[in-house]
Structure 1
Amino acid sequence: MHRKVFASKVYERKVVLITGGCAGIGRALVLRFAQAGARLVILDLQQDELDSLLQHLADHHHVEAMGLCCDVADAVAVQEAVALAMERFGGIDVLVNNAGVSHRSTFADTDLEVFQRVMAVNYFGALNCTKAVLPSLIARHGQIIVLSSLSGFAPLLYRSAYNASKHALHGLFETLRYEIKGSGVNVMLVCPGFTATDLRKNALVGDAGLAPSPPLAMGRVASAHDVAEEVYRAALKRKRLLVLSNVNWRARLLARYFPWLFERALLPRISGIKPGRGGR
Structure 2
Amino acid sequence: MSKGQFYQKVVVITGGCAGIGRALALRFAHAGARIAILDIQDETLVAFRQQLTDKVNAEVLALHCDVANERQCEEAICQVIEHYGGIDVLINNAGITQRSLFAETDLAVFRRIMDVNYFGALHCTHFALDSILQRRGQIIVLSSLSGFAPMLYRSAYNASKHALHGLFETLRMEVQERGVNVMLVTPGFTATDIRKNALVGDGSISGQSVAPSFKVSSPTDVADDIYHGACKRKRLMILSNVNWRAQLFARLFPRAFERWMVPRLSGVKPADRSS
Superposition TM-score tier, normalisation by shorter sequence: over 0.9
- Tell whether 2:113 aligns with 1:143: no
Deviates more, 1:268-277 or 1:200-209: 268-277
Residue 174 of structure 1: how far off its partner (Å): 0.5
Superposed CA RMSD: 1.6
Runs of 4+ in 1 over 2 A off after TM superposition: 212-217, 248-258, 274-280
Superimposed CA distance per residue, residues 105-136 of structure 1 (whole angstroms, 9 cap, x where no aligned partner): 00000000100000000000000010011111
Call closer, same or farther: CA 1:161–1:65 in 2, change over 3 Å: same
Letter in 2 for 1:166: K
- Tell whether 2:235 aligns with 1:240: yes
Report the equivalent of 1:228: 223
Residue 198 of structure 1: how far off its partner (Å): 1.0
Q: Find the aligned partners of 2:86 and 2:13 in 1 and give their Cα distance.
A: 14
- Identity, in percent, stands at 60
Call closer, same or farther: CA 1:213–1:152 in 2, change over 3 Å: farther
- Tell whether 2:190 aligns with 1:190: no
Per the alignment, in what secondary structure is the counterpart of residue 12 of structure 2? strand
- Tell whether 2:164 aligns with 1:169: yes
- Tell whether 2:97 aligns with 1:102: yes
Q: Is contact 2:23–2:223 with CA below 8 Å preserved after alignment?
A: yes
Listed as ranges, the matches of 1:17-32 within 5 Å are: 17-32=12-27
Superimposed CA distance per residue, residues 70-96 of structure 1 (whole angstroms, 9 cap, x where no aligned partner): 111111111111111111100000000
Per the alignment, in what secondary structure is the counterpart of residue 187 of structure 1? strand
Call closer, same or farther: CA 1:250–1:173 in 2, change over 3 Å: farther
Letter in 2 for 1:83: C
Residue 253 of structure 1: how far off its partner (Å): 3.1
Per the alignment, in what secondary structure is the counterpart of residue 205 of structure 1? coil
Match 2:153 to one of 148, 155, 158 = 158
Between the two proteins, the alignment pairs up a number of residues equal to 275
- Tell whether 2:217 aligns with 1:201: no
Superimposed CA distance per residue, residues 38-88 of structure 1 (whole angstroms, 9 cap, x where no aligned partner): 001100001111000001011101111111101111111111111111111
Residue 244 of structure 1: how far off its partner (Å): 1.1
TM-score by length of 2: 0.96
Q: Is contact 2:147–2:162 with CA below 8 Å preserved after alignment?
A: yes
Call closer, same or farther: CA 1:158–1:248 in 2, change over 3 Å: farther
Runs of at least 5 residues in structure 2 that lack an aligned partner in the other structure: none
Letter in 1 for 2:105: T
Residue 279 of structure 1: how far off its partner (Å): 4.2
Residue 180 of structure 1: how far off its partner (Å): 1.2
Letter in 2 for 1:175: T
Q: Find the aligned partners of 1:165 and 1:96 in 2 and give their Cα distance.
A: 17
Residue 276 of structure 1: how far off its partner (Å): 5.0
Call closer, same or farther: CA 1:204–1:29 in 2, change over 3 Å: same
Match 2:46 to one of 43, 46, 51 = 51
Call closer, same or farther: CA 1:73–1:40 in 2, change over 3 Å: same
Residue 30 of structure 1: how far off its partner (Å): 0.3
Report the equivalent of 1:34: 29
Q: Find the aligned partners of 2:178 and 2:84 in 1 and give their Cα distance.
A: 22
